[in-house]
Amino acid sequence: MDRARIMAYVEAARARGVTHVAFTEHLFRFREAFELLYGWWDDDPDPALAKLACAYWQDHVSGSVADYVREVEAAKRDGLPVLLGLEMDWIHGRADDLARFLAPYDWDIVLGSVHYIGSFGFDDERFRAEWDRRQTSTVWHDYGVLVGELAASGLADVLSHPDLPKVFGHRPQSETPLHDAILTGASGAGTAIELNSNGLRKCGEIYPALPLLQRAHDLGLPVTLASDAHTPARVGEDFAALAAWARRAGYASATSFVQREPQTYALPADAP
């Protein structure tokens, strides 16, 4: 991350009418996280899956969290509309290590996400064959348990792309048990639910599904809007669709975070 890349995201956001950009780089891209959490994959009894997970993390280490924080904070001091965030990948049994990783920095927002069940990276193409060896309902159940752990840890402000296991189209007969787990976790910890437009690109449906979002509204849970933009061109992508999805569920406002404090704003009135 450097100033030129930050500016590319900011300019793309401005073109779409987005007023602030929250940079939420993945935990696994940082050398410090790799060193702190190294070997977590070995807890999986399947050595082939553990090897895949290890290789994925090794392939994606691309810099230092200290440098990342320094660049974003410098841009913020210079008046650019940016926020310092992180997507914290939940690793079962490593809550204390994750807390140590977060502690030194003044985050604006911490997203919590689950991408692994053991060493099964269920949303990554390299692991797709593993879906054929597992029952869909079991994957969704195990994912729900981990989301509950993540929420209970108190380390995240937002549950990111909360019904992610639908990404490749594997959906159980009933999604209600997972919705129950997500809502119980979010309600108990006071975390927000993320509306993520990347679902439209990945699986043809916004994360999360409307029934989950409607129940979140009824429980009074806040929502955030995210494009999950891995490139500048996708910043703010399909935000009108996100606003419309939120309105269908009953929401009139959404939430952002500054210094980990919620900030509420009205959804666009002209959302389709």
| pLDDT score of 24 | 97
Q: Quick one: 12 exposed, middle or buried, by C-beta within 10 A (0-12, 13-18, 19+)?
A: buried
Give the per-residue pLDDT at 265: 95
Asked if 71 and 4 touch (Cβ cutoff 8 Å), the reply is no
3-266, CATH topology level = TIM Barrel (3.20.20)
pLDDT < 50 positions in the chain: 271-272
Asked if 149 and 92 count as a contact pair (C-beta separation under 8 A), the reply is yes
92: which residues sit within 8 A by CB, 6+ positions away? 43, 118, 146, 149
Rounded Cα gap, residues 50 and 40, in angstroms: 9
pTM of the model as a whole: 0.95
pLDDT at 268: 75
- What tens digit of pLDDT does each residue of 236-272 get? 889 999 999 999 999 999 999 999 999 999 997 654 3
Domain ranges, ordered by start, for the chain = 3-266
The per-residue pLDDT for 272 is 38
User: How is residue 105 written in tokens?
Assistant: 């920095």
At 271 the pLDDT is: 43
